[in-house]
């Protein structure tokens, strides 16, 4: 009988040890998953910080390659676009000024002339 109690006791201890081992493995897997998730979150946070820095930076602070030829070409292209924008603005100003002068000229010639559309009697359907 003492032998039976001893074997039952050993059997229970072995079951407990097996359960403990199983729970320990599950716990380790869970902790590893948490570590992986934390690492992924830190990587994402790092990427967000980089993107935030890039978006907050002004156009003048753009990062270019170490290649001075590429930087020179980029500067040249930027200056060309700036000049084109200035010329376009100047052309718009001249056109506005000319249109205003034409309106003033027409009004000075015949102040009674209407600026509305005038239809000849031939073009009006009956």
Count H helices and E strands in the chain, helices first: 2, 0
Give 5's contacts (C-beta < 8 A, 6+ positions apart): none
- The pLDDT tens digits for 36-80 are 999 999 999 999 888 888 787 755 555 555 677 777 788 888 888
Contact between 74 and 64 under an 8 Å Cβ cutoff? The reply is yes
Which pLDDT band, with edges at 50, 70 and 90, does 23 fall under?
very high
pLDDT of residue 85 exceeding 70: yes
Which range scores top for mean pLDDT: 77-86, 106-115, 116-125? 77-86
Residue 71 domain-assigned? yes
Q: Residue 10: inside a domain, yes or no?
A: no
90-115 residue pLDDT tens: 888 888 888 888 777 766 765 555 55
Domains held by the chain: number: 1
Q: Enter the pTM of the model.
A: 0.34
More confident site: 106 or 35: 35
For 92, the domain range is 65-105
Give yes or no for a contact between 62 and 54, defined as CB atoms under 8 angstroms apart: no
* Domain-embedded: residue 45: no
Q: Find out whether 113 and 106 touch, Cβ atoms under 8 Å.
A: yes
Q: What is the CA radius of gyration of the chain?
A: 42
Give CA–CA dist 32/24, Å, rounded: 12
């Amino acid at each position: 009988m003492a032998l039976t109690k001893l074997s039952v006791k050993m059997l229970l201890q072995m079951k407990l040890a097996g359960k403990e081992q199983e729970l320990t493995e599950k716990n380790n897997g869970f902790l590893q998953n948490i570590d992986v998730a934390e690492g992924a979150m830190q990587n994402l946070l790092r990427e967000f910080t980089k993107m935030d820095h890039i978006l907050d930076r002004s156009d003048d602070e753009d990062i270019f390659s170490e290649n001075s030829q590429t930087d020179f070409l980029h500067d040249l292209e930027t200056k060309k676009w700036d000049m084109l924008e200035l010329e376009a603005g100047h052309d718009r100003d001249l056109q506005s000024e000319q249109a205003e002068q034409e309106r003033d000229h027409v009004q000075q010639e015949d102040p009674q002339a209407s600026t509305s559309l005038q239809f000849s009697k031939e073009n009006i359907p009956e």
